[in-house]
Amino acid sequence: MEKEQIFTGKTVDDAVKAGLSALGLTADDVTIEVVDEGKRRLIGSKPAQVKLTVKEKLTDGERAVRFLEGLLPILSMEADVVLAEEDEKIVIELNADNARTVIGRRGEIIDAVQTLAGAVANTGRKEYKRVVVDCEHYREDREETLKRVANKLAAKAVRLGKRVRLEPMNPYERRIIHSALVDHPDVTTKSEGKEPARFVVIIPKNAKPYERRERGDRGERNMNGRNGSRGKFNRDMRGGKPRYGERKPYPKRELPAEGTPESSGTSFRREESSVPGYKKGGFGGFFGTFLGNAKEDDAPENKNDPE
């Protein structure tokens, strides 16, 4: 089948329909180029001509390779893009003179390139297909490193009896950690957090239960400082000597003797009260507040008359 063919018809639409029918394709499978729109004449007519070019059908891996070939120059990277595998997973190799610029610090650049390539390769697919972008065997070396770190931190978690949290990783690297410890007899693993900061937690099976302290159980510490000290404003903790002088004891307020009248904020003592109706231990009035004459002989004879 030729990639380019010319078809004719009374109109452009008729020519396109005739060409698609002959090729057994749809309009999405070809590119259409109008050669001649045709022309009606008084006597007869000139047919329209279109050129149909069959689009190159690329596999998912080839489509990802084509995308990376256009992306890397934009990122100022020089590398040859090679499709190494396309069966159970798609593996793309980047061959570069300076692999460090392609990989980046801790693989940040190559991980980002891999994410974009995976999105392109899985466009239109119902089931996701894993895409791996590698450079100078970086993925293999990184996998071995992650396995060593996983076993080392698992031993630490068992020794301390506490959970151990790893740094955030992409799904591919988290899967390596889970696989490395899936058969470990003393720990289990799980992922926590949200992307892109999702991380793996190693949980020992002998983890110590968390004991919650009572609110007042703080040993010798109190709100003033450590070991019962009065804090930095009263004592120099380094020498144990007074820094601003000794704190003088606050004098305790003596309660009024029995029979002494009490007021709000001020108490005064009377041996004998001339206030009518005064009872022992009762209210004796307010200091500094005049409520009226206390003596009967000073009161007006007629309560309705002004004083």
Residue 241's pLDDT is 53
The rounded percent of the chain whose pLDDT value lies above 90 is 36
Alpha-carbon distance of 150 to 236, in angstroms, equals 48
In DSSP terms, 30 is beta-bridged to 54
Alpha-carbon distance of 16 to 6, in angstroms, equals 9
Provide the strand spans (E) within the chain: 4-9, 30-36, 39-40, 45-46, 48-54, 80-86, 90-95, 131-134, 164-165, 187-192, 199-204, 235-236, 241-242
Alpha helices in 50-186 (DSSP H): 60-74, 99-103, 108-121, 138-160, 171-181
Residue 113's pLDDT is 94
Residue 268's pLDDT is 46
Please, is 126 exposed, middle or buried when counting C-beta atoms within 10 Å of its C-beta (0-12, 13-18, 19+)? exposed
Residue 206's contacts (CB-CB under 8 Å, 6 or more residues apart) are 158, 161, 186
Q: Per-residue pLDDT tens for 245-289? A: 566 666 666 665 665 555 444 444 444 545 555 455 554 444 444
Alpha-carbon distance of 188 to 156, in angstroms, equals 13
Q: Is the pLDDT of residue 177 over 80?
A: yes
Residue 149's pLDDT is 95
What is the SS3 assignment for 243?
coil
Closest CA to 128 of 171, 96, 81: 171
The answer to whether 62 and 80 are in contact (CB under 8 A) is: no
Alpha-carbon distance of 38 to 9, in angstroms, equals 9
Class of domain 139-204: alpha beta
Question: Which of the 8 DSSP states describes residue 240?
Answer: T
Query: What residue segments make up the domains of the chain, in order of their start?
Result: 4-54, 60-136, 139-204
CA 124 to chain centre: 30
Q: Per-residue pLDDT tens for 3-54? A: 678 888 888 888 888 888 888 888 877 888 888 887 766 666 778 888 888 8
Residue 67's pLDDT is 94
Identical topology for domains 60-136 and 139-204: no
Between residues 224 and 27, which one has the greater pLDDT? 27
Residue 289's pLDDT is 43
- How, if at all, do strands 90-95 and 131-134 pair? parallel
Residue 30's pLDDT is 81
Residue 307's pLDDT is 44
Residue 83's pLDDT is 94
AA identity, residue 100: R
Q: In which band, very low, low, confident or very high, does the pLDDT at 200 lie, cut at 50, 70 and 90?
A: very high
What is the SS3 assignment for 270?
coil
- How, if at all, do strands 131-134 and 241-242 pair? unpaired
Q: Is the pLDDT of residue 229 over 60?
A: no
* Range ranked top by mean pLDDT from 141-155, 217-231, 233-247: 141-155
Instruction: Determine the average pLDDT of the residues in 115-121.
Output: 93
The answer to whether 175 and 218 are in contact (CB under 8 A) is: no
Residue 240's pLDDT is 53
Q: Which architecture, in CATH terms, is 60-136?
A: 2-Layer Sandwich (3.30)
The whole-chain average pLDDT of the chain stands at 76
Alpha-carbon distance of 242 to 239, in angstroms, equals 9
The answer to whether 276 and 294 are in contact (CB under 8 A) is: yes
Q: Per-residue pLDDT tens for 145-169? A: 999 999 999 999 999 999 999 999 8
